A and B are shown apart, each in its own frame.
Chain A
């Protein structure tokens, strides 16, 4: 069997050596399309002002260790407070999402109650409406809550409009055997103890997924902080980077450095958690 397959495969390979070449060519080409725009930004970020103006975009920087632009971007571009703001918002909203999402999933999956179908339908319908479309009215609500131009605005919105995480938890919680709940209940655990001591620890893989998906979304979000936190002190990495456009005008070497500063943490996280990230986004977007 195996030899037959191998034999077949070998013949197949011989026949399609050209096809194989085309395959690698297409992969290399696609990788170049992805990487070239990023690499030229990296090159530009390492160039001096004069160099950036006189050399072409594809020319390499003369000094690979010229980090001056990064220093300027970091200090004059308000990137320090931006990372701090993003960090605070990220921490609170991701934690909140995990708590709220897992509780919702727990209530829906582990209890029988009236209007359950209605509740599920309400979440399902909401997941179909892109939140960017309702901002005209959401803005008024956030304003009335007094959250406009505070960190609460994005936190509340990230917590309030996240349905995907509920789905991820719901899918996962179904695979946790109900008999575990039963056993705990017989031992005298109430429903919150069951949630806290049994469900939540078992949900760890789902929590990892939600943290990644939500974390990347919040880290990258531009629209909500842009609309709800116009104050410069409250800039997140997206809005602070966006503001590079004005003061740094055509100083592409500094704008590039800013962009690299924002991309770098993403790259590090991606390299460290590749496997989890693929699984997370596959689960997150097919719900």
Chain B
């Protein structure tokens, strides 16, 4: 009772003065009564999350942009302003640029991964025996700890290890340095990434496919459409938003690859990725300025990719509004 009185008595004037004027006309019909609160009440709920957001996302980005114009080593109190030197370094020194080629390998793998997931999602959405078992098996790798996955595949790729034994069982002899050969290492690691993440795409696609009304298939089947035609004309258009989302995640994911190559090879034999390179620059070689510039470039790239995707595929889900 008292709470109500307090809320009403004191809460009204500031709300009316502050809030109602700009926001009132738009929202009025739906939530008129909800405006009965102190102007600062929502901020009480937001102060902690916003503090976190600023401290651990925006402050680092700001700092990083600042560091990127200096030659700071991360420890010494002084740093010198060097202008765009770090950025020109990044784009002119070929060994620093090579990481983008590595990202390319992961990107190709990601395309393969989406195609595989799409195939298995389609297959599993039709009548299939042991459907849940297959779905579970294919999804489980996504839940496994990255370090454990790293070890599992270090063992798998060993010379004379599991993969070599399997290949020789099928008559394909020849010793491969799966992780030692610079021509193979990124393909092997990208393969691990496909192994790990296909299940997530599968579950996403399957969820989208299952929300398609079943009478559409029945109608199509009556019209004599085969499976491919059903996929092409019913399934593919209905799950386009999820596919485009996966595509964007694939691009930004392949730029930000870190865990698996870091655990398995530490970035050796030409398996260095963008993030490993930045981390090594900063924490191994004390080049915080250069590392910051590299991270800024990566963030800008990811934002550009996201922006392009938003332009190409107009808003298909309601975002935060």
User: Which residues of A does B touch, CB under 8 Å?
Assistant: 4-5, 8-9, 12, 16, 19, 23-24, 26-27, 30-31, 33-38, 40-41, 44, 56-58, 100-101, 103-104, 106-108, 110-114, 116, 119-120, 122-124, 126, 128-141, 156-157, 159-161, 166-167, 170, 178, 181-182, 185-191, 193, 195, 216, 219-220, 222-223, 227, 237-239, 241-242, 244, 252, 255-256, 258-259, 262-263, 266-267, 270, 274, 277-279, 281-282, 285-286
- Minimum CB–CB distance for A176 against chain B, Å: 13
Task: Name which of B87-95, B98-106, B150-158, B170-178 contacts chain A.
Answer: B150-158
Most-contacted residue by chain A among B1, B30, B42, B46 (CB, 10 A): B42
B36-89 interface with A by 8 A CB criterion: 36-37, 39, 41-43, 45-46, 48-50, 52-53, 55-61, 63-64, 67, 74
- B285 surroundings in chain A (CB, below 8 A): none
B151-200 interface with A by 8 A CB criterion: 151-153, 155-156, 158, 160-162, 165-166, 169, 195, 200
**A238 near B137: Cβ-Cβ < 8 Å:** no
Contacts A12-B221, A285-B249; A190 near B3 (Cβ below 8 A): yes
- Minimum CB–CB distance for B56 against chain A, Å: 4
Q: Which of B22, B162, B222, B302 contacts A36 (CB 8 A)?
A: B162
- B312 surroundings in chain A (CB, below 8 A): none
List of 3 A-B pairs having minimum Cβ-Cβ separation, nearest first: A160-B56, A160-B52, A107-B45
Asked if B292 CB lies within 8 Å of chain A CBs, one says yes
Where chain B touches its partner, the secondary structure class is: helix
Known: A138-B56, A266-B145, A286-B204. 11 other contacts (CB 8 A): A8-B221, A27-B128, A35-B137, A37-B156, A112-B27, A128-B302, A129-B302, A161-B52, A259-B151, A266-B144, A285-B204
Name which residue of chain B comes closest to A99, CB basis. Answer: B48
**B258 near A223: Cβ-Cβ < 8 Å:** yes
**B142 near A104: Cβ-Cβ < 8 Å:** no
Asked if B216 CB lies within 8 Å of chain A CBs, one says no
A234 and B199 CA atoms in complex are apart in Å by 32
A278 and B132 CA atoms in complex are apart in Å by 11
Q: Which of A123, A178, A238 contacts B147 (CB 8 A)?
A: A238
